[in-house]
Amino acid sequence: MWFRQGALVPGLVAVVAMAGCESGTTPLDNTPPAQATVGRVTANATVSVFATGLVFPRGLAFGPNGDLFVAEAGSGGTTATTPAQCTQVVPPVGPYTNGPTGRISRINKQGVRTTAADGFPSGINAFGDVSGVAAVAFIGNNLYALIPGGGCSHGSADVPAQVALVRPGQGTWSKVADLSKYLAANPVQAPEPGDFEPDGAWYGMIQQNETLVAVEPNHGEVVRITRQGNVSRIVDISALYGHIVPTVIAQWGGNLYISELGTFPIANGSQTILKIDPQGNVTQAATGFTTVLGLDFDARGRMYVLETTAGPFFPSPGTGRVIRVDLQGNRDVLADKLTFPTGLRFGPDGAVYVSHVGFGPPGMGEILRIVIPGTTER
């Protein structure tokens, strides 16, 4: 993984609770941004388990018929590559081993899970961090998957890190863009040499018009991918901010918004949401967050931020939360005491869906549904 210096360890049993309220002073796109402050406590949102039986769930996307598709990292495998085959991820993180255990689940409106496609490469490192399928997105009726689990440095000699076209009705998938090849040919300006993965650690991906936009946290960049497989850089985050570990991406009002995870030791409240305008200019949109792994907007332009853990130093079960930020910068904590949540999507029914126990024992992953009174629009 890329949550270092240190590494995430698999989480324990989930603890879910309703939230408090946090009033902030950071309007979206205000410059310079200000830190959030703790405010009065509320308990308006309700949290329930929507689906279970997931294997390290990550990113989420709703299909055209309203079914929820979930990227799953899988449980790794035992296949290894050697230094003679390719550059390895250095100890203590590497080397990786790999197996075809990554998958994508489809969850219907009743919360019933079925497998949409499987057999994706899934790499596991020395800390037990697993990287398989990280994100899913639709362009029209076509489903695409972001697959960081591939690549020789992840123990997958024949299947690269890639974006794949998935055919849920058939359970098959095929490569669209070779991201391992792209990274090798297009190094960023300021990679972190002590924490470097040759095949990357791709995490977030969304659809924008007829293209896909993906985030690579370890090298630190945002790219655009066409349906023909062309990959081009939108922005080199490392050149602007160094090793801040950008993670997920959302869009609102023609702009892209990028979250960051940060590195160890965790400094609570030190992470920022960045805005990329259509001209490629990058500014800070909001600050005062911690280890962000989920980001989305509702129809009113309110931003939903998923924090996976808080400090004081290393990841702690039961410290994740979901925060809503309105256009004036007011912040409501919709759910807290979450254990290693790893993905968030605002649903067509006005509820917020969260991948939960994303760094936990295989099969313990689940999807939470957070209902907020008065929020019914997408």
Under DSSP, is residue 282 helix (H, G, I), strand (E, B) or coil?
Answer: strand
Please tell me the pTM assigned to this model.
0.90
The pLDDT tens digits of the residues spanning 72-105 come to 999 999 999 999 999 999 999 999 999 999 999 9
* CB crowding 149-162: b at 16 or more within 10 Å, else e: bbbbbbbbbebbbb
Supply the pLDDT for residue 360: 80
Share of the chain above pLDDT 70, in %: 87
DSSP secondary structure, 207-223, as one string:
EETTEEEEEETTTTEEE
Least confident residue range of 17-21, 105-109, 173-177, 211-215: 17-21
Q: What is the mean pLDDT of residues 340-366?
A: 94
Closest CA to 47 of 365, 343, 364, 333: 333
Mean pLDDT of 240-265: 96
Q: Is the pLDDT of residue 10 over 90?
A: no
CA distances from 29 to 69, 133, 270, 272, 283 (A): 31, 32, 17, 12, 8
Question: Which is nearest to 102 in space by CA: 145, 61, 72, 69?
Answer: 72
Q: What pLDDT was estimated at residue 345?
A: 98
pLDDT at res. 311: 83
Q: What is the pLDDT of residue 224?
A: 98
pLDDT digits (tens, 9 = 90+) for 20-79: 333 333 444 433 333 333 332 345 889 999 999 999 999 999 999 999 999 999 999 999
Phi, psi (rounded to 5 degrees) for 153: -70, -10
Residue showing tokens 């390290």: 56
Average pLDDT, the chain: 88
Instruction: Report pLDDT for 300.
Output: 93
Task: Please tell me the distance from the alpha carbon of residue 275 to that of residue 157, in angstroms, as a whole number.
Answer: 36
Evaluate the CA torsion angle 192, 198, 204, 209 in order and state its sign.
positive
pLDDT digits (tens, 9 = 90+) for 332-348: 999 999 999 999 999 99
Where do the domains of the chain lie? 17-371
Upstream peptide bond of 265 is cis (omega within 30 degrees of 0):
yes
Could you give the CA distance from residue 188 to residue 200 in angstroms, rounded to a whole number? 11
Residue 304, token pair as written in the block: 């939903």
Q: Tally the residues of the chain.
A: 378
Domain 17-371: CATH superfamily is TolB, C-terminal domain (2.120.10.30)
Residue-wise DSSP of 234-261:
EEEHHHHHSS--EEEEEEETTEEEEEE-
Q: 241 — phi, psi (to 5°)?
A: -130, 0
Q: CA-CA distance, 139 to 97, in Å (whole number)? A: 32
| Predicted pLDDT of residue 363 | 85
Average pLDDT over residues 1-11: 37
Strands 68-72 and 271-276: unpaired
Judged against a pLDDT cut of 90, whether residue 17 lies above it is answered with no
Which residue, among 46, 48, 49, 44, has the nearest Cα to 332 in the 3D structure?
Answer: 44
Output phi, psi for 349, to 5 deg: -95, 5
Residue among 315, 361, 317, 314 nearest 339 (CA): 317
